[in-house]
Amino acid sequence: MTDMPWRPLRWTGEALILLDQTALPREERYRGCRTVEEVAEAIRTMRVRGAPAIGIAAVAGLALAVREAIERGDDWQRAFASATQLLEQTRPTAVDLFHGIERARQRVRTVNDGRQAALELARLGEELLERQWSIDRAIAEYGASLLPAGARILTHCNTGALGTGAYGTALGIVRRAHEDGRLGYVWVTETRPRLQGARLTTWELRRLGITHTLLVDGAAAWLMARGEVDAVIVGADRVARNGDVANKIGTLSLAVAAERFRIPFYVAAPLSTFDLTVSDGMAIPIEERDPAEILHSVCEGCGEGSRVWNPAFDVTPNELVTALITEYGVVPTPDERKVVALVAASSEERHAAG
Ligand code: MRU
């Protein structure tokens, strides 16, 4: 189910075809991953990125690992176990990756036959990709209903189709407001050092015909101080039990500035991004990436001989979050009680739906 001429993620059952996000916006290059090693490399190097998209890619990777084992006449269960280990080591923060792997594990728990397991995993990949559309659409609808007409939104990183494989979360809300004729304006932060805002979000917005302005991350507080932002909307990589949010580095600065200038700060995230096993955000593992990502993005020779710290994410405490926007509804001023209740209600609903 797609309303886009391009597809960031496609699962054929035999390969995961992804739009290589490291090549954008220069080149629209599709890449077929036919082994779990190729999928793991794509996740690690951020050819595919964004919490939900990573989770879906991991499931496809497991399907490929099992299929390959059967073709080689190897023990598929052993191949499955080592593929999960490989994938788990790619990126530590987005919990969707671990939830995807756990779903796959559950799907083949009672399966003995390797061919059947490969089939089940291939189906799960398809189902997750398909389901992401309705999840994203529900988030977009809830989110857009919170916004005043003509809302001027500031967003960070990339939370669009590239980040979910479907309609997008925070950027899905922007899309939905635009479709409803209620969008005032979009401000896009550059998102140092990997420039997901400058490279990917502007690319998506151009394709959607949504006018926007790009700014350096450091200009966001000044923009808010000038009264030019009605809401900040970001995505998440992991939401802790108490509603603290890990998201792309720079998110915390935006939340602090939004509070200072009394601007609502919304976090849009599907339930696959929630992790009730971590009590608060400080317990979330934060990925630290190669210093080269910073050095190369600044200038030739910059920082040579200096130490570099490159955390990929930060944690925004729940008290700075105006509301969490999920496919099961909105959680205003999140705390442990509300988050636990939402997750419980969502699993009851899922059970009832079969
Ligand atoms: O390092 P990235 O680009 O994978 O980080 C992505 C984000 O921080 C997004 O906000 C988040 O994953 C949500 S994508 C719908």
**Ligand 1 centre from 51 Cα, in Å?**
5
Ligand 1 within 6 A of CB of 324: no
Number of CB atoms found within 10 A of residue 214's CB:
17
Instruction: Please determine, looking at this structure, whether the domain spanning 143-352 carries the CATH number 3.40.50.10470.
Output: yes
Where helices occur in 73-108 by DSSP H, the ranges are 76-88, 95-107
Q: Convert the pLDDT of each residue in 53-91 to its tens digit.
A: 999 999 999 999 999 999 999 999 999 999 999 999 999
DSSP state of 273: G
The residues, ordered by sequence, that sit 6+ positions from 244 with a Cβ below 8 Å of its Cβ are: 280, 281, 282, 284, 315, 316, 317, 318
- pLDDT bin (cut points 50, 70, 90) of residue 13 is confident
Q: What is the pLDDT of residue 354?
A: 57
User: Mean of the per-residue pLDDT values for the chain?
Assistant: 95
Q: Which pLDDT belongs to residue 285?
A: 98
Q: Is residue 180 annotated as a catalytic residue, yes or no?
A: no
Ligand 1 near 235 CB (within 6 A): yes
> What is the pLDDT confidence band of residue 300, given thresholds at 50, 70 and 90?
confident
Q: Is 100 in the pocket of ligand 1 (CB under 6 A)?
A: no
* Residue-wise DSSP of 22-48: TTTTT---EEEE-SHHHHHHHHHTTSS
How many other β-carbons are positioned within 10 Å of the β-carbon of residue 221? 17
What is the per-residue pLDDT across 92-104, written as a single tens digit (0 to 9) for each? Answer: 999 999 999 999 9
CA torsion sign for 142, 143, 148, 150 is negative
The answer to whether residues 100 and 58 touch, using CB atoms and an 8 Å cutoff, is yes
Measure the CA–CA gap between 324 and 243, rounded to whole angstroms. 8
Residue closest to 318 by CA, chosen among 266, 354, 283: 266
| Position 123, amino acid | R
The partner residues of 266 in beta bridges, in order of sequence, read: 233, 323
237 lines ligand 1 (CB under 6 A): yes
Whether the per-residue pLDDT at 167 is higher than 50: the answer is yes
Q: Is 197 in the pocket of ligand 1 (CB under 6 A)?
A: no
pLDDT greater than 80 at residue 6: no
Kindly give, in sequence order, each residue whose CB lies less than 8 Å from that of residue 320, ignoring residues fewer than 6 positions away: 252, 255, 256, 258, 259, 265
User: Distance, CA 329 to ligand 1 centroid (Å)?
Assistant: 21
Q: For 189-205, how does the pLDDT look when each residue is reduced to its tens digit (9 = 90+)?
A: 999 999 999 999 999 99
Report the percentage of the chain scoring pLDDT > 70: 98
162 CA to centre of ligand 1 in angstroms: 10
Using one digit for the tens of pLDDT, what is the confidence trace for 304-348? Answer: 888 999 999 999 999 999 999 999 999 999 999 999 999 999 987
Active-site residue (options: 96, 217, 237, 314): 237
Q: What is the mean pLDDT of residues 134-159?
A: 98
pLDDT at 183 over 60: yes
pLDDT recorded at residue 296: 77
Whether 11 has a pLDDT exceeding 50, the answer reads yes
The pLDDT value given to residue 111:
95
Percent of the chain with pLDDT over 90: 91
Contact between 307 and 297 under an 8 Å Cβ cutoff? The reply is no
Q: Mapped to the 3 state alphabet, what secondary structure does 225-241 carry?
A: HCCCCCEEEECCCEEEC
Q: Is the CB of 314 under 6 A from ligand 1?
A: no
pLDDT at 40 over 90: yes
Q: What is the mean pLDDT of residues 14-25?
A: 96
| pLDDT above 70: residue 3 | no
Q: Torsion angle, CA of 298/299/300/306, rounded to 10 degrees?
A: -50
**Confidence (pLDDT) at 349:** 77
Fold of 9-135: Four Helix Bundle (Hemerythrin (Met), subunit A) (1.20.120)
Which pLDDT does position 1 carry in this prediction? 45
Mutation test residue for ligand 1: of 22, 167, 196, the one with most atoms within 8 Å of CB: 196
How is residue 39 written in tokens?
A: 């999928």
The ranges assigned to domains in the chain are 9-135, 143-352
Residue pair 160/200 in contact (Cβ under 8 Å)? The answer is yes
